[in-house]
Amino acid sequence: MCDKCGCGATATLDQPAEKASGKPATVVREQFEVVRGILDGNQRQAKHNREHFDMHGIVVINLMSSPGSGKTSLLEATIPRLRGKLRLAVIEGDLETENDARRIRAQGVPAIQITTGTACHLDASLVHDALHALDLDSIDLLFIENIGNLVCPASFGLGQHRNVTLLSVTEGDDKPAKYPVMFRTSDLVLLSKMDLLPHVPEFEPRRAEDALASIGVHVPLLRISTRTPASLDPWLQWLDHTLAEVRSQQATATTPRLVHGHAHDHLSG
Amino acid sequence: MKFSRKSAANLMHELSVAQALLDQIEIVAQARGALDVPAATIRVGPLSGVEPSLLRRAFEVARLARPTTARTELTLEIGEIVVSCASCGRNGSASPGDLRCQHCASVRTSMRTGDELLLLRIEMDIPAAGAAEMAN
């Protein structure tokens, strides 16, 4: 079961209730206006992850899509292009198997596999656990490959700097209208498997663009195919640009740096 | 009200949210020393990614595992999607799959409300020294 969800919240439950030893004779029924985000526990943990990333100067990209849209293939095609320029690492989320992490490790890049069993998304505390298995001082760019799912991952921030959503041409071009929550979180949309487009006449890239605009998404949409290395150039340029952008923010950030030895009691503050 | 069916994997999503909601209720309840939480009210925006009926079902299962919330009745308010338009400057309602301005059809809109997932209020039973006096 998904006992990890509501993550980080366990650490905030450390205000023990001062319950009376016996059942009190009198009880007051009280209406209490709260107004707090239901997913604040995850948001707090995500913010904490972000502090880890920024402290170590790591830029983090969260890759999301339906199952089979080509997230792992994109990483496999991207890694050789960045070899020698950036130190990479990957966190892989899947319901089962280590297969994706193996594919990344085969390219000489450290990969941590998170298997969630039946849970439909990665959350901030799962990612935090995975961070402990990585040498954060030797990473420039960290990809988090989220679980293939266009619904849940959108609601659970991980501390990433950017969200990238893949939409393959073998899916419908109306996917953005069907899954607006996911596509609205995107900083970049990649139209993947463009090499298959001639075989899928019902997919019109133009309609995908219109569907994105209709849900208020005005981010770049890049057409890629991992079979055509040149088609990845704009994606690599976007990565370059993003890296520069995030790093300059990290350099000028005035947020207090974390000082701790991973006891994590600071989450309660 | 639309009827929608989700896959088993996606049902997990509402269960995750229900657990997070119970965590939030517990934080408040414990801080106030509450013995029982008879009621809680939340607001679910149409673009929050949560299906209200599934969240209710998930909540009714998940609450049982926790003593203070085992009997909590959940009230769901459904939020409204409101977008403001950068082209004509007006606010208006919109639907989840189409956030264009209802007045001028511009796509240059930003969402004011509609993706919220909020715990609004909690009813708690709190032992209090002054309870007897207050009641009289």
Q: Which residues from A are below 8 Å from B134, CB to CB?
A: 28
**From CA B124, how far away is CA B72, in angstroms rounded?**
10
Question: Hey, is the C-beta of A22 within 8 angstroms of any chain B C-beta?
Answer: no
Select from A15, A4, A81 the least CA-distant residue to A268: A15
Report residue A131 as tokens. 């961070």
Residue of B nearest to A18 (CA): B33
Interchain pair B127, A27: CB under 8 A: yes
The Cα B66–Cα B21 span in angstroms is 12
Helix H or strand E encompassing B53: helix B52-62
Q: In 3D, which of B108, B78, B77, B111 has the Cα closest to residue B94?
A: B111
**pLDDT tens digits for range A184-207:** 999 999 999 999 999 999 999 999
User: Where do we find the tokens 């089979």?
Assistant: A68
| ipTM over 0.90 threshold | no
In tens, the pLDDT along B82-102 reads: 999 999 999 999 999 899 999
**d(C-alpha B100, C-alpha A230), whole Å:** 35
Question: Which two structure tokens, joined as six digits, stand for B69?
Answer: 């919330």
- Hey, are the CB atoms on B10 and A118 less than 8 Å from each other? no
Q: What are the pLDDT digits (tens) for A89-129?
A: 999 998 889 999 999 999 999 999 998 887 788 999 999 99
**What are the Cα distances from residue A213, in Å, to A168, A210, B100, B135?**
18, 5, 8, 57
The answer to whether the CB atoms of A28 and B125 lie below 8 A apart is yes
Whether residues B33 and A18 touch (CB distance < 8 A) is answered with yes
Report, as an integer, the average pLDDT of A163-170. 98
Cβ pair A9:B110 closer than 8 A: no
Asked whether B19 and A6 are in contact (CB, 8 A), the reply is yes
Is A6 or B71 the better-scoring residue by pLDDT? B71
Highest mean pLDDT among A7-16, A78-87, A260-269: A78-87
Between helix B8-31 and helix A40-55 the angle, nearest 10°, is 90
* A233-252 vs A71-82: helix crossing angle, rounded to 10: 80
Token pair of B71, please? 């009997």
Instruction: Specify burial of residue A251 (Cβ count, 10 A radius: 0-12, 13-18, 19+).
Output: exposed
Q: Give the tokens for residue A247.
A: 């790093």
Predicted confidence band of residue B129 (pLDDT cuts 50, 70, 90): low
> Strands (DSSP E) along chain A, which ranges?
27-37, 59-64, 88-94, 111-115, 141-145, 162-168, 188-192, 221-223
Nearest to B72 by CA among B89, B57, B59, B87: B59
Q: State pLDDT tens for residues B97-120.
A: 899 999 999 999 999 999 999 999
Q: What is the pLDDT of residues A10-19, one digit of tens each?
A: 333 333 444 4
pLDDT at B128: 75
Using CA coordinates, name the residue in chain A closest to B30: A17
Question: What is residue B9's predicted lDDT score, i.e. its pLDDT?
Answer: 47
A12 contacts in B (CB within 8 Å)? 23, 27
Chain B residues with beta carbon closer than 8 angstroms to that of A27: 35-36, 125-128, 131
In the stretch 37-66 of chain B, residues with CB closer than 8 A to chain A read 38, 42, 47-50
* Residues B24 and A36 sit within 8 Å (Cβ to Cβ): yes
- Determine, for residues A149 and B30 on separate chains, whether the beta-carbon distance falls below 8 Å: no
**Listed residue (A221, A219, A195) closest to A208, CA to CA:** A221
For residue A206, give how far its alpha carbon lies from the nearest alpha carbon of chain B (Å): 15
Interface membership of A64 toward B (CB under 8 Å)? no
Which of A31, A37, A152 faces B10 most closely, judged by CB atoms?
A152
Q: Which of helix, strand or coil describes residue A248?
A: helix
Q: Do A216 and B99 touch (CB under 8 A)?
A: yes
pLDDT at residue B3 tops 70: no
Q: Which of A221 and A258 is assigned the larger pLDDT?
A: A221
CB-based contact, B110 to chain A, within 8 Å: yes
Smallest Cβ distance to B30: which of A17, A28, A95? A17
Asked if A213 reaches chain B (Cβ–Cβ under 8 Å), the answer is yes
Name the residue of chain B whose CA is nearest to A6's CA.
Answer: B20
Query: Is B115–A149 a contact, with Cβ atoms under 8 angstroms apart?
Result: no
Task: Please give the Cα distance from B127 to B36 (Å, whole number).
Answer: 10
Please tell me if residue B132 touches chain A, with a CB cutoff of 8 Å: yes
For residue A242, give the 3-state DSSP assignment: helix
Q: What number of CA atoms fall less than 13 Å from residue A4's CA on the CB side?
A: 18
Encoding tokens for residue A266? 């600071």
C-alpha A133, offset from chain centre: 17
Cα A80 from Cα A229, distance rounded (Å): 11
